[in-house]
Amino acid sequence: MATIGGSIVTVKGKRVINRRSHMLQGIVSPTPFHMVVQSAFNDMMGEFYSRTMLGINQWMRDYPTKRSDIQMYMHIVEEGKQRVFEGHRLFLGGLPNNNKFDNFLSLIEDQSQRCQCFQKLVFCGYDLLNAPIDTIPSSGVSNGRDDTTAKIFSPIGHIKNDKIGCSKRSDGEFLRTGKCFAYRKLRRDLFETYSKKDPNLGAKIFKHRRDILVQKRLVDDDVSNEEVGNWKFVGLTERKYRRKWLNIDEAISFCDQNFIKQRIVCTKVDVEEATSPEEQLLLHRSLHGLVGIHGASLTQGVLLPSHASILELLPWIPNYLQGSWVQTKHRPTPLGIIFHKTGELSNLNHVGYGLDRESVPLCLHVNRSATELERDCFMNETKPAPTIKKFRWADRDFNVDPSVIGDFVSTFLLNNNSICEDVRDRAEHKEFVVYNAYCRYGNDTRFHVEHYYRNSTS
């Protein structure tokens, strides 16, 4: 329960209820402004970035305040998914605030401390509605009045700001002609804030790269920064729960065996094991390339340095199962919109590669030519542990042919990617779709962003 200027706010399920009452006595918070942010699917990092971060960054640009004066809280309304991850703290830490983040429910459920009084508590991502009092679960608070209605903070889909100018549409024509600059501003502002909060960030990035090389016994402990700067680092995203990359060790070994002589090294990037937002930041700012399956773990790709390359592995999904939107090649995937709309100032290269049936480690006993039998196996819901629950793209573990990683490295990191025609031709030859390429038409022309989509069936 939190006191807000004569009102008591309580949380019941998916609603925040505002009821008038007398001011409770309590200590005054040394931080004057406390901000609660909410949007739909906040538990998913890509949705959080586009639905929450995009809007809240613009509002904080419009109304600048000292960083030490703002403390932020995450409100995730969906039951069972209310954990605040280090990734949330990482992105929120790129906003001007005091680096203290908590779950909004801590204000409601933590009764171990005295009530705190805030100068201002701001709710972002809600509509304020009047609701009949008899439709609201009892909060146990009474003001001795017979009110028939109460004001409710009702969660909405995203934090709105008219200056954003970004749409959910992802067709190629809109993306080419759209005037969405908010993603570009957000990425730039994140980098500026990280640098201001930690002036030693550059030195820490070099140390993290050096540690990778030392761990692989490729250099000595006293290696110079100049020598470390001659290497390129490619991160392969690892997950411990859903969508596990089963043969990631094989892929890393293949990469190192083939590219160490060219001073390119592959390493695991596990955001689930990162113990702090700073560790996640270093993991990604240290990379020149990032490879992972479509999903939340690639969202931190926006933190890669200039001219870095991202490979999004598109899951194999047959036409009888939902999920075609995560494997599009004729336009960006939903995640690709984040990279696309960062604009030319981002200098990010983003490509995709469609995985095939061989990537799915299920129903291997079924003859691949027996299409109906294979479908029956994938969709079988009669077993004690139905196969379909393991087969949905959002939950399914996967394998990747190591040669795909090799093709990505040789095509986009080892070769000179400055000429657009070369990027297009090499990508087409290796069956990559180029969602975002930062290139130029000739040595005497300026760099710009180009897109080389493929038809939806290729």
Q: 279 with 334, same domain?
A: yes
Q: 357 with 248, same domain?
A: yes
Q: 134 with 183, same domain?
A: no
Confidence label for 286 from pLDDT (cuts 50, 70 and 90): very high
Identify whether the C-beta of residue 352 lies closer than 8 Å to the C-beta of residue 336: yes
Q: 209 with 288, same domain?
A: yes
Lowest-pLDDT range of 171-185, 292-306, 381-395: 381-395
Say how many C-beta atoms besides its own lie within 10 A of residue 371's C-beta.
Answer: 11
Does pLDDT of 326 surpass 90?
no
Residue 382 lies in a domain: no
Chosen domain end from 123, 155, 187: 155
Q: Greater confidence, 146 or 4?
A: 146
Lowest-pLDDT range of 24-38, 95-109, 124-138, 185-199: 124-138
Q: 216 with 353, same domain?
A: yes
What is the tens place of the pLDDT at every residue in 58-75? 999 899 889 899 999 999
Q: What is the mean pLDDT of residues 411-437?
A: 90
Confidence label for 22 from pLDDT (cuts 50, 70 and 90): very low
Does pLDDT of 285 surpass 60?
yes
Residue 10 lies in a domain: yes
The percentage of the chain sitting over the pLDDT mark of 70, rounded to a whole number, equals 83
Q: Greater confidence, 447 or 389?
A: 447
Q: Greater confidence, 181 or 277?
A: 277
Chosen domain end from 155, 189, 212: 155
What is the tens place of the pLDDT at every residue in 76-111? 988 888 888 899 999 999 998 888 888 988 887 665
What is the tens place of the pLDDT at every residue in 200-231? 999 999 999 999 999 999 999 889 989 999 99
Q: Greater confidence, 369 or 405?
A: 405
Q: 320 with 412, same domain?
A: yes
Range of the domain at 107: 2-155
Give the per-residue pLDDT at 243: 86
Lowest-pLDDT range of 125-129, 379-383, 413-417: 379-383
- Arithmetic mean of pLDDT over the chain: 83
Confidence label for 149 from pLDDT (cuts 50, 70 and 90): confident
Does pLDDT of 382 surpass 50?
no
Give the per-residue pLDDT at 109: 67
Q: How many angstroms separate the CA atoms of 400 and 310, rounded?
A: 16
Q: Which residues pair with 312 in a beta bridge?
A: 292, 352
Domains: count for the chain: 2
Lowest-pLDDT range of 14-28, 331-345, 373-387: 14-28
Q: 150 with 227, same domain?
A: no
Does pLDDT of 115 surpass 70?
yes
Give the per-residue pLDDT at 366: 83
Does pLDDT of 166 surpass 90?
no
Residue 386 lies in a domain: no
Q: 71 with 108, same domain?
A: yes
**Residue 11 backbone phi and psi in degrees, to 5:** -115, 125
Give the per-residue pLDDT at 386: 54
Residue 161 lies in a domain: no
Give the per-residue pLDDT at 385: 55
Residue 292 lies in a domain: yes
Q: 133 with 276, same domain?
A: no
Which residues, at least 6 apart from 208, have a Cβ–Cβ distance to it below 8 Å? 282, 283, 286
Q: 209 with 347, same domain?
A: yes
Residue 219 lies in a domain: yes
pTM of the model: 0.86
Residue 419 lies in a domain: yes
The percentage of the chain sitting over the pLDDT mark of 90, rounded to a whole number, equals 44
Give the per-residue pLDDT at 54: 92
Instruction: Classify residue 224 as exposed, middle or buried by CB count within 10 Å of its CB (0-12, 13-18, 19+).
Output: exposed
Q: 145 with 239, same domain?
A: no
3-state secondary structure the chain: CEEECCEEEEEECCEEEEEECCCCCCEECCCCEEEEECCCCCCCHHHHHHHHHHHHHHHHHHCCCCHHHEEEEECCCCCCCCCCCHHHHHHHCCCCCCCCEEECHHHHHCCCCCCEECCEEEEECEEEEEEEHHHCCCCCCCCCCCCCEEEEEEECCCCCCCCCCCCCCCCHHHHHHCCCCHHHHHHHHHHHHHHHHCCCHHHHHHHHHHHHHHHCCCCCCCCCHHHHCCCEEEEEECCCCCCCECCHHHHHHHHHHHHHHHCEEEEEECCCCCCCHHHHHHHHHCCCEEEEECCHHHHHHHHCCCCCEEEEEECCCCCCCCCHHHCCCCCCCHHHHHHHCCCHHHCCEEEEEECCHHHCCCCCCCCCCCHHHHHHHHHCCCCCCCHHHHHCCCCCCECCCHHHHHHHHHHHHHCCCCEHHHHHHHHHHCCCEEEEEEEECCCCCCCEEEEECCCCCC
Residue 86 lies in a domain: yes
Instruction: Classify residue 1 as exposed, middle or buried by CB count within 10 Å of its CB (0-12, 13-18, 19+).
Output: middle
Q: 148 with 180, same domain?
A: no
Chosen domain end from 130, 155, 180: 155
Q: How many angstroms separate the CA atoms of 258 and 100, rounded?
A: 44
